[in-house]
Amino acid sequence: MLSHLALEHIGPATKMELSPGSRLNLLTGDNGLGKSFLLDVIWWSLTDTWPKDINPELAGGYKAVPINGQAGKSKITFQHSRATQPTVSNYDRSKAAWSRSRGKPPKSGLVFYFFADGSVAIYDPIINTKTENPSAFVFSQADVWKNRSNDAVMQGLIIDWGIWQKSADEADKQSFDLFCQVLKQLSGDVSEVLEPGSLATINVMDAYKMPTIRTATGQEVPIIYASSAVKKMLSIAYVLTWGWQKHKSGAEIYGGEVKDDLVILIDELEAHLHPKWQRRILGALLTIKDLLDKPSNQSVKKPKGLQLFACTHSPLVMASAETYFDPTTDAWFDIDLEDNHVELVKRGFYILGTAEAWLTSLAFDLATTGSVEAELLIERFDAMGGDFEDLTKDEALALDQELRAHLPQINVRFVRWNKFLLSKGWIKL
């Protein structure tokens, strides 16, 4: 797990520094200010890899590079929770790479990185540290669903789901059972639990049967026809199941111990999700580690700790965190543009009670929660300071028409405004 990260002369800011919480870390900020960039660097600090270098098909996961002309000053300092000293990494221009003065800690945990476009990266501290294996598993969204590579280590959701569901093999049964549990945990509403249906043939030329999802109406829908939100939940459940089961297999084959720490990075957590899912997704992910089964070998452990880094633009996600946010284990970091400079700030988390209140908080910086037109109208109206005497009848009635078109009639501004119009005899209630 990551306990500290400091960046100098790389990314959108001259300096960025954060000491993340040991459990939940929320990242907010406007587009283009560096949230995804921070996730990339956090991933690198935990794995010593840049996803784009492993899989060029990815749209993100690029190697961090120094700010123009500042390569000599660029520095990444980080520390893992199990390390006694921080690692200081400088940019080597001759190799176009970041140095590792102390290397990876020997007991780093399993790391999952869910990109906004559906791609994923998985780092296994047992499997990916062997010289004969890749330094990390990095899959495009298409790979996650059905990997067409001849030497694919992951066959993809469609194939593996079918194998797990129909196989008599005990390991496959365990995988399918875990997958169903994780999928149930990620369900958006208890009345609409995501539940696998029967395998179906939808194309006579396919060599496999298509998994289905049982809907609230009892229908079984092939997963390729599922909504974008359901597909996202299926992908997350599959990747977590596949990665955990692969990790257990690696421990058995290489004689290692199943690691007891788990780190999940997820970008644009709310993408494609209905509000009911946006309110549940954080809580669901924070309890995922409790579902990971303890294998028959009692010497290995379930993961004791989960550290989650989630980037979000959703006020519902922020509001959902109010019931379980703990300042001793959790943190909220906000990236803002101050005087044309990007700044990363650790905010004090507070209870606002509604998603609407979060829209006008420091997380999203909106002046109002209505339309842009309504906001501009309110600014114009409030600038009058309650002094309407200079308005002509035509100007007043035109403004009144605008107000009633864009603002609810219970708005407090109408009290003084109606009183003014009535005193002039320009309206009748």
Q: DSSP 3-state assignment of 142?
A: helix
Contact 77, 4 (CB under 8 A): yes
- Check the CA dihedral 421-423-426-427 and report its sign: positive
Q: Which residues contact 111 (CB under 8 A, 6 or more apart)?
A: 43, 46, 47, 121, 122, 123, 262, 263, 264, 265
What is the predicted pLDDT for the residue at 299? 47
Which pair of tokens denotes residue 323?
Answer: 């019931």
Q: State the greatest distance between any 2 C-alpha atoms of the chain, in Å, as a whole number.
A: 89
Q: Which of 54, 57, 60, 28 is nearest to 41 (CA)?
A: 60
Strand-pair category, 13-18 with 2-10: antiparallel
> What single-letter amino acid sits at 223?
I
pLDDT for res 292: 75
The answer to whether the predicted template modeling score (pTM) of the entire model surpasses 0.85 is yes
Note whether 271 and 116 are within 8 A (CB). yes
- Work out the angle at residue 313's Cα, subtended by the Cα atoms of residues 312 and 314, and round it to the nearest 5 degrees: 90
Encoded tokens for 21: 């919480």
* Residues 6 or more apart in contact with residue 162 via CB below 8 angstroms: 199, 208, 209, 210, 211
Q: In angstroms, rounded to a whole number, what is the distance separating the alpha carbons of residues 256 and 301?
A: 12
Return d(Cα 20, Cα 168) in angstroms, integer. Answer: 44
Residues linked to residue 214 through DSSP beta bridges, in sequence order: 195, 220
Return the sign of the alpha-carbon dihedral for residues 27, 29, 30, 35.
negative
pLDDT at residue 304, rounded to an integer: 65
**pLDDT of 213:** 93
The tens-digit pLDDT sequence of the chain (429 residues) is 899 999 998 888 889 999 999 999 999 999 888 899 999 999 999 999 999 999 988 888 999 888 776 667 889 999 988 788 888 998 888 888 888 765 454 457 899 999 999 999 999 999 999 999 999 999 999 999 998 877 779 999 999 999 999 999 999 999 999 999 999 998 866 667 889 999 998 887 777 899 999 987 788 999 999 999 999 999 999 999 999 999 999 999 998 888 878 999 999 999 999 898 999 999 999 988 888 755 444 444 444 689 999 999 999 999 999 999 999 999 999 999 888 889 999 999 999 999 999 999 999 988 888 888 888 998 999 999 888 999 999 999 999 999 888 888 777 788 889 899 999 899 886
Please name each of the domains of the chain with its CATH number.
2-359 (3.40.50.300), 372-424 (no CATH)
- What's the confidence (pLDDT) of residue 71? 66
Q: Could you tell me the end-to-end alpha-carbon distance of the chain, in angstroms, rounded to an integer?
A: 64
What is the structure's pLDDT at 102?
52
